Structure 1
Amino acid sequence: MRPNAVAIALSRFERAFGQPGRYLNASEVCSPGLEVEDARDDLERAMLHLPPGARRDLGRLITRIDAEFERRTLPEPHSVELAVFGWWWTRTRER
């Protein structure tokens, strides 16, 4: 993992969740590798390498992030095949 990967991932969610409105804005998509879905992938990878205490702490943050991400996105029925990468890839933003 890159240095500061967890901090960078968390800051992406903070910026995304700071957007006004009920749903995340699709026009705020930066570019591949810089989207919140990529940040969620980074958090998932970090969980594999953390000691138990830190894993629990990050897990609690991820639980809150997941709930907010699910609340602010919509199911994308045509992206079911992406579920192998993580459920967060099967969600879409406001268009």
Structure 2
Amino acid sequence: MLCNKIPMIKLIDFWAPWCGPCKMMNPIIDELEKEFEGKVEFEKVNVDENPQMAAQFGVMSIPTFVVLKDDQEVGRKIGVTSKADLASLLKN
């Protein structure tokens, strides 16, 4: 019997509370969370509180958005970006 496994997609948002561009992206991330509810898992990682995770992903600037499919990186955007650009990463 074959099991059709749906790939798990996750967007990790690396940010910090003092980062102005990160704050600008918050409403866009909130909108994407609603649009992709049940299809994409969203995780916010504060780089000040989790420097080891930021280092693990090679994050040098924030905001950085990393898209994982089945725990493998399939896309990345650094800096302020459009909702459409992030959505296209999540759809591919």
Q: TM-score, normalised by structure 2?
A: 0.28
Of structures 1 and 2, the one with the larger relative CO (CA 8 A, separation 6+) is 2
Greater percentage in strand: 2
Greater percentage in helix: 1
Q: TM-score, normalised by structure 1?
A: 0.27
